[in-house]
């Protein structure tokens, strides 16, 4: 193979789309003998206002993120992927994955799931996968 991916960021959020992306990523990571960076971004903007009413929201979001990433790590190890890193960030997934996570790990590929948003939601807020493809400095694979 002339070109191999060595640093692969896999964006996971627990959705069906990210599950499909994760499964595709397992094959690509093993084929390229690459390092898998399992990335989850806690979208802190979504609970900033609600936290005024429920102070445990941030703690629960952090706990969910750790459990989620740990479950992906276990699944990866079960199929023989051992060169992996956990990455949990806070902020906007649209920006964090494409710029901060990929940049800090010098990623040469980002794998993410396509979203199931409707046309109105995409128009108003845009999809995370669209933003990643637009702003990433490396290759991006959006899995349907």
Mean pLDDT of 24-33: 97
Question: In the numeric block, which tokens belong to residue 7?
Answer: 């640093």
Give dist(CA 47, CA 132) in Å, integer.
Answer: 22
pTM of the entire predicted model: 0.89
Distance in Å from the first CA to the final CA of the chain: 25
- CB contact at 8 A, 70 and 106: no
Per-residue pLDDT reduced to its tens digit, 52-101: 667 788 788 899 999 999 999 999 999 999 999 999 999 989 889 999 99
CATH superfamily, with its number, for domain 7-143: HUPs (3.40.50.620)
Residue 124: pLDDT over 50:
no
pLDDT of res. 77: 98
Spans of all domains in the chain: 7-143
pLDDT of res. 58: 79
Residue 49: pLDDT over 90:
no
Give dist(CA 109, CA 57) in Å, integer.
Answer: 32
pLDDT of res. 59: 85
């Amino acid at each position: 193979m002339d070109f191999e991916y060595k640093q692969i960021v896999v964006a996971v959020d627990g959705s069906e789309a990210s599950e499909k992306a994760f499964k595709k990523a397992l094959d690509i990571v093993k084929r390229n003998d690459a390092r898998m960076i399992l990335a989850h971004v806690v979208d802190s903007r979504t609970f900033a206002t609600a936290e005024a009413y429920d102070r445990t929201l941030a703690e629960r979001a952090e706990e969910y993120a750790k459990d989620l990433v740990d479950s992906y790590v276990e699944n990866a190890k079960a199929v023989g992927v051992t060169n992996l890193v956990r990455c949990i960030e806070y902020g906007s997934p649209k920006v964090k994955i494409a710029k901060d996570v990929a940049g800090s790990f010098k990623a040469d590929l980002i794998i993410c799931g396509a979203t199931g948003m409707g046309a109105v939601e995409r128009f108003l807020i845009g999809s995370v996968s669209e933003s990643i493809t637009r702003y990433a400095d490396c290759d991006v694979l959006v899995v349907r």
